[in-house]
Structure 1
Amino acid sequence: MWFKLSCLRRLWPALLLSPLILSLLLSPDLNREVFLAVHQGARMVPAVCWRLLNVLGDWPTVLALLLALSWRRPDKLPALLFGCGVGVFLAIVLKAGFAVPRPPLVLPPGAVQLLDDLPGNGSFPSGHAMASATLASFLYYSGMARKGLWLSAGVVLVMCARLATGVHWPLDVTVGALLGWAAMYGACRWAWPQGWPAGLSARLQSLMLPAVGLQLLWLLYKPGSHEEYGLRLAVCALVFVAGCWRWWRARLR
């Protein structure tokens, strides 16, 4: 019984998402109907709320947040690097391989109210759902957040935001969330669970900081057209400034 309960505690995201994914795979009409129901129902919420929620699934923003979280748990840096690396790789390969058209390109004109720019890549799987699940899984399996229910609610909100925005199907977000969870769960469990030497982790964290700086420069060079741009810019700037401060203090010691 202890073994079964421990497995349930560790694997419940997969146990919840797998039946839903199977149902959507077996019934394309259900995939379409769920999208239309969520997309139309989401119109009751201001569009700015959905766009701001999308920031929690934006890969550059999530990677900056994960870098900042690794400062608290440097022993989890291997999990961060491998989990995110696998997640980004899967998102790129699967999107290119399946090349699923996004809802506005398939549904009749007027059925979809786009709340943001339409991405030019494939729809399946959702990179935003994957990134948000990766962030939530890192928080949970690294022990920095014990409230798995609240973390899961945050991922579900990002999933709904992608449907509300009009750029993803339900199957995209459910598979994306499952892949993001699996990538980070496996990384936290098997990728050097005891961590790397402190000196190596500190050097790698310092090397990751310029990437945040480049992202900040890119945001300043190419400002967005919607409200979430300010949130993405603020998160990136805060992480970069905090990282530079940590690096300077370490140099003075």
Structure 2
Amino acid sequence: MDNLPTLTEGLYLDILEFARSTPHWFQRLAEVWTELGLLLFGVLFVAGWWRMRRGSADGMALALLAPLATAFGYVVSEGLKSLIDEERPCRAVAGAPASLVACPPHGDWSFPSNHSAIAGAAAVALALSWRGLVWLTAPMALLMAFSRVFVGVHYPHDVTVGLLVGGVVALIVMKSARRPVHNLVETARSSRNGAVVWCVGRGMPSHASARPEGVRHGAR
């Protein structure tokens, strides 16, 4: 682990120098994204939950699990960060250009990147709960990870490991908790408590599977 900062220090410097060469408006955009981009994942969590209120119990279970799996990804990342005291590159790399955002204080360690772990976990969780959304969530997660290096507060290996840790933890949580949460949703949907039913929705309304004979074949 001690050698990782040295191995990726050159790439960090190249990315930060590139960041410094970009237009000011682009730098500001990166600064906003790296701090507020995770909110878009939150919006997608809410949208996914809302759309499944009239969906299957399994779909609602996955929609409810998505933010929980993401939270677990963050907790694991934070646990690793507390065990591995890696100084931020904006403080440790001699001769590096100033970071675009304020360098976090000493003790707010660099490895792994919590932002990247959250983004990786959210991308995987949303992809599993909302079919086809991976084409949006994967680029969002990669952009979040890159932005942490771009603004100068993480090494490339910090964000790479963060993405992997978050994604793997989210996958494990989504797969292992799917069945029990599915059963919980089914139970909640049969509840007489209106607030509970509103939270999980009624599911897809049932329809008659067949039409009257005269309608099916046409009355003459």
Work out whether the TM-score is over 0.5: yes
Q: How far off is 1:108 after superposition?
A: 1.9
Write out aligned runs for 1:160-239 (5 A).
160-193=146-179, 195=182, 196-197=184-185, 200=188
Partner of 1:47: 27
Give the corresponding residue for 1:241: none
Letter in 2 for 1:146: G
**Code of the aligned partner of 1:38:** I
Aligned partner of 2:126 among 135, 139, 151: 139
User: How far apart in 1 are the matches of 2:80 and 2:102?
Assistant: 21
Per residue, is there more helix in 1 or in 2? 1
Choose the corresponding residue for 2:97, options 112, 133, 157. Answer: 112
The residue identity in structure 1 corresponding to 2:30 is W
* CA deviation string 1:117-145 (max 9, x = no partner): 32231111111111111221122111x24
Tell me how far apart the structure 2 counterparts of residues 183 and 200 of structure 1 sit (CA, whole Å).
Answer: 27
SS of alignment partner, residue 112 of structure 1: coil
The unaligned stretches of length 5 or more in structure 1 are 1-23, 208-245
Please name the residue that 1:99 is paired with.
85
- Larger Rg, first or second structure (1 or 2): 2
State the partner residue of 1:72: 51
Q: Which residue of 1 aligns with 2:37?
A: 56
Q: Which amino acid aligns with 1:40?
A: E
1:85 alignment partner in structure 2: 71
C-alpha distance after superposition, 1:154-192 (max 9, x if no partner)? 222111110111110111100100011112212222212
Q: What amino acid is aligned across from residue 184 of structure 1 in structure 2?
A: A
Worse overlay, 45-54 or 126-135: 45-54
The code of the aligned residue for 1:49 comes to: L
1: CA distance, partners of 2:29 / 2:84: 30
- The CA distance in 2 between the partners of 1:167 and 1:112, in whole Å, is 11
Out of 28-37 and 123-132, give the one that drifted further: 28-37
1:171-220 per-residue CA deviation (whole Å, 9 max, x = no partner) reads 1100100011112212222212462225748x9xx89xxxxxxxxxxxxx
1:44-80 deviations in Å (ceiling 9; x for gaps): 252112123212236xx74464244323333224522
Q: Distance in 1 between matches of 2:146 and 2:80?
A: 21
Distance 2:159 2:185 in 1: 37
Letter in 1 for 2:92: V
- For 1:84-139, what per-residue CA distance to the aligned partner results, in whole angstroms no more than 9, with x for missing partners? 23212112211111121101211125x13222232231111111111111221122
- With over 3 angstroms needed to count, the CA separation of the structure-2 counterparts of 1:153 and 1:40, relative to structure 1, is same
Identity of aligned residues (%): 22
> 1:62–1:149: structure 2 CA closer, same or farther, 3 Å change rule?
closer
Letter aligned with residue 181 of structure 1: G
Kept after mapping to 2: 8 A contact 1:128/1:158: yes
| TM-score of the two chains, using structure 1 as the length reference | 0.60
Number of corresponding residues: 182
Q: 1:84 to 1:146 in 2, by over 3 A?
A: same
- Whether the 8 Å CA contact 1:136–1:151 is kept in 2: the answer is yes
Cα RMSD, aligned residues only = 3.3
The answer to whether the 8 A contact 1:136-1:152 is kept is yes
